Amino acid sequence: MASISYLTQFSLQKSRFSSLYKPQSATSGLRTSRQVISRTNHLEFSPNKIESFPAPVKFAGKSLGLSGLNHLLKHPEFCIAKAAAAAADAEGHEIEISNGLSKPSESFAQRFPALVTGFFFFTWYFLNVIFNILNKKVYNYFPYPFFVSVVHLLVGVVYCLVSWGVGLPKRAPIDKELLALLTPVAFCHALGHVMSNVSFAAVAVSFTHTIKALEPFFNAAASQFVLGHQIPFSLWLSLAPVVIGVSMASLTELSFNWIGFISAMISNIAFTYRSIYSKKAMTGMDSTNVYAYISIIALVFCLPPAIFIEGPQLMQYGFKDAIAKVGLNKFLSDLFWIGMFYHLYNQVATNTLERVAPLTHAVGNVLKRVFVIGFSIVVFGNRISTQTGIGTAIAIAGVAIYSLIKANIEEAKRKAAQTHAS
């Protein structure tokens, strides 16, 4: 039989062609794999908007089935100016279809990273301020810093154990080698934490934080004389305002006493050595698990002094006096919440600092101290002399300058290392 040629003319008008992109039967359905690549086999499409088509196209052939239409779509005269589709995979996640490729929809954190980071900073500051205020209020009627330090860590440890129990996060295994590395870190953490609380109980919160502004000075000294790292002269120079400011604030601080001052200084030294040992104990474990293990070990170190130093007083009249002043329910509630806020602000601080660059980290730390000092003065109505206020401002400014210089030096080292590696 002689072959017969048929000339078929198709005229395509502007249309939304909703049905073209809906799943159909095997015989009449049209596959759109050339237009869409998806993570799953099942897609449901919203109608495409096809804005322009060329003039009528002519083809010659025996028949126009599925292959014929595919040939039509591939013809150079058949063009689609703009096409976009939205799809949903089998898990219900929206996928943006653009230029033949699927793009998984971005989460809120991916679309607004600055907003999310700002929320983390706000939460960090808020929790820190609430902790310091509530902590000082407890000390006003229950001045037992060793016992309160144990409560802080105990609530945090219980929180970590519950989190591990539900798998958020999954507990990382620990061996003798890792335990040996974390024990010095935990000891310094325990000592610094207890001494900070001794200072908080003895003097105004604002004064303790002013003394603790000297921590960068101790860090620089330890790096230079203990670790043997050469500290740039510019860093040493930036620490001069910190020392001068703290000295000015201390000389005229109305709540000054030697117990509060010395304990805050010991806290600075302890946290400096904690930083040194932390660098030696760098592991592949995530920060949440590391902090949980440090809290558990630190709790073990804090229990003996709390029992032997404050235990007899607590059993004789400490607990009775506190309950008589505020009641049993409020007393227990205050102890629980200061422990919870202590753990949460430390955890959020860790999560926040993991999201930002060293420079932002440095500025955030300085602003946190400013927030705590300012709010504590307002809430407790602490009177400060003019010289104390000026000295505190100078010390904070010095910490800011030091932090900025150090962050820039670290960033330069990081870029140099990347350049050398590449």
- For 3, the enclosing helix (H) or strand (E) is none
Is the distance from CB of 231 to CB of 223 less than 8 angstroms?
yes
Which of 19, 64, 297, 284 is closest to 184 using CA atoms? 297
Q: What is the pLDDT of residue 283?
A: 66
Residue 164 above 60 pLDDT?
yes
Do residues 394 and 386 make contact, with C-beta atoms less than 8 angstroms apart? no
Which two tokens mark 303? 């229990």
- 302 has a pLDDT exceeding 60: yes
So what's the pLDDT on residue 103? 53
Give counts: helices (H), strands (E), the chain: 15, 6
b/e for 328-359, b at 16 or more Cβ within 10 A? Answer: eeebeebbebbbbbbbbbbbbbeebbeeeebe
Residue 202's nearest CA partner among 150, 136, 149 is: 136
Mean pLDDT estimate for the chain: 76
Average pLDDT over residues 147-173: 93
User: How distant, in Å, are the alpha carbons of 136, 261, 384 from that of 252?
Assistant: 21, 13, 8
Question: Mean pLDDT, to the nearest integer, of 264-268?
Answer: 93
pLDDT, position 11: 41
- Indicate whether 332 pLDDT > 80: yes
Better-scored residue on pLDDT, 373 or 102: 373
pLDDT, one tens digit per residue, over 80-102 is: 444 433 333 333 444 444 455 55
Alpha carbon distance 144, 174 (integer Å): 33
User: 78 with 57: CB under 8 angstroms?
Assistant: yes
Helix (H, G, I), strand (E, B) or coil at 49: coil
Whole-prediction pTM value? Answer: 0.67
Between 9 and 191, whose confidence is greater? 191
Could you tell me which residue, 139 or 212, shows the higher pLDDT? 139
Q: Which residue has the higher pLDDT, 259 or 100?
A: 259
Q: Could you tell me which residue, 229 or 330, shows the higher pLDDT?
A: 330
Task: List Cβ neighbours of 327 (8 Å cut-off, separation of 6 or more).
Answer: none
- What is the reported pLDDT for 83? 40
